[in-house]
Structure 1
């Protein structure tokens, strides 16, 4: 009976609490309104529509010429060569930059000095000048030979068969880019807590293992965004390979058609369209790489916060 009466008292207390909770009026939260945002969106939409109409209806843009050449074989070949130059140059620049970072962080002063000189030279001279030099390599050094020091030549090959315009363009682009990537990678590695390196050394890990298991995986989160920007910059830097001269890239292909048709504007739009398409694809890839290596690092800026 005592337990039953206690249960009734508890039930009555709960009922009273529920009734009190229902009796208390809840605050009706009204979201703050931002009329300025609505006005700004309307103004931007109006300006965008007006600009789009002005461009679409302007006969001086020669959209019929744009439609004729946007998928022409010459332009598509230029797109292919531009992609090839970008991928190969970055594929060489990235491991070269990693090697230079290891040299910059080495305890050997000769390696540190050599890496510093490399970065100093290729960052300090214009990429156009470097490309022009590599284009003149066969003139400066007509042959490449392997010989015994102060002895006879073993092998000799004409430079023009090795340093072709495509090879010269790739060497010039990749060497220049490696200098910039070296500083990006070095900043990413230095952002890691030195205590982790000391702990790894304390348990007897070798320097290669420290780099591959501790430094590189953690630094990827910091390195990927600027490296993505450098890749997009490399895509557009391929337009300078005319200095070699290399004449198969997208910019040269569209310029050649423009010079033949005396209509530069639609061909500039063709080149701009393809650069935008490729850049958009690279940005999507960069986004997924950042999301993969940023797992466990908290929400992305602009998400999950109060504004």
Structure 2
């Protein structure tokens, strides 16, 4: 009896399989001529701008270098930093009080807070500063005592309201309205379930805000408020109208004394403002990265980490 014949079926050649055929083909990247054209145009425009800055003698870069570190300019820069720092702290405090008043259960604080925010967001900052500068014409003196009764302490407005005080008060009053909306938005960003859970545990309202609501709200408040501080740095240029010689006021005064140096003096102010806002922007980046740790699994790398990663790859 003969054994059955064994048929041998050979496996298909790997080169003839569909997958292998696809991988054997060379992948041609998609071309982007529009992207290359836009890159070339942008580089040409930037080169023209840089060439104009370097070769145009009317910029007077030698005078720019002379004025950049002059003591009178640095004094104005210090005044800008001082007014910005004090106003930023006071505006944050005032904005927090106004935001909490908006969330009050009493209708009177809510109405007062809403009116304050509506009023100072509607009036330009320069009008607020000029009004405070002429405040002594309305009230020659202020006093502390019993309401509608006798006064215990009286002091003159003119002696108290110096240029620096007027600038700080005006910026604080104006920026507090915007800070209040930032703080209120941060409080509203906290999930309502957090409030309900804290209330169900019998935690007092002030402890709810301090221990539960505020730490979560800061994730939204701090980056936005740092952005407001950047705007505050530039807003200090308006204190020149109340005779306070900050950075811009100093440059404006020097430009009147040395009219031939007006362009380099304006460039000096521009570069210093760019430096200040750049430093604050760096702080803002790290603050946002710090507060994003609870919301994102992997925070974005810092510029130093990116440079180190590129160096390791090479």
In the superposition, the TM-score normalised over structure 2's length comes to 0.83
- Give 1:171 shift: 0.5
Q: Partner residue of 2:252?
A: 255
Aligned CA RMSD, in angstroms, stands at 2.3
Cα contact 2:240–2:248 (8 A) shared by 1: no
Residue aligned with 2:203, SS: coil
- Give 1:300 shift: 6.7
Give ranges in structure 1 of 5+ residues lacking alignment.
Answer: 1-19
Q: Partner residue of 2:103?
A: 105
In 2, the alpha carbon distance for the partners of 1:217 and 1:111 equals 24
Deviates more, 1:144-153 or 1:260-269: 144-153
Change (3 A) 1:173 1:149: closer
Change (3 A) 1:213 1:58: same
Change (3 A) 1:32 1:206: farther
In 2, the alpha carbon distance for the partners of 1:171 and 1:228 equals 20
Residue aligned with 1:144, SS: strand
- The one of 151, 154, 178 equivalent to 1:153 is 151
Cα contact 2:136–2:158 (8 A) shared by 1: yes
- Give 1:62 shift: 1.4
Cα contact 1:166–1:246 (8 A) shared by 2: no
Cα contact 2:293–2:299 (8 A) shared by 1: no
In 1, the alpha carbon distance for the partners of 2:46 and 2:148 equals 71
Cα contact 2:289–2:300 (8 A) shared by 1: no
In the superposition, the TM-score normalised over structure 1's length comes to 0.85
**Runs of 4+ displaced beyond 6 Å:** 300-303
In 2, the alpha carbon distance for the partners of 1:178 and 1:62 equals 41
Cα contact 1:146–1:154 (8 A) shared by 2: yes
1:225 aligns with 2:198: no
Aligned residues: 281
Once the two structures are superposed, residues 64-88 of structure 1 have per-residue CA deviations (whole angstroms, 9 ceiling, x without a partner) of 2111101111111111111111111
Q: Partner residue of 2:117?
A: 119
Once the two structures are superposed, residues 135-163 of structure 1 have per-residue CA deviations (whole angstroms, 9 ceiling, x without a partner) of 11223221122234555432221112222
- The one of 179, 188, 208 equivalent to 1:190 is 188
In 1, the alpha carbon distance for the partners of 2:236 and 2:148 equals 41
Once the two structures are superposed, residues 43-79 of structure 1 have per-residue CA deviations (whole angstroms, 9 ceiling, x without a partner) of 2122111111111110111112111101111111111
Deviates more, 1:105-114 or 1:219-228: 219-228
Cα contact 2:190–2:216 (8 A) shared by 1: yes
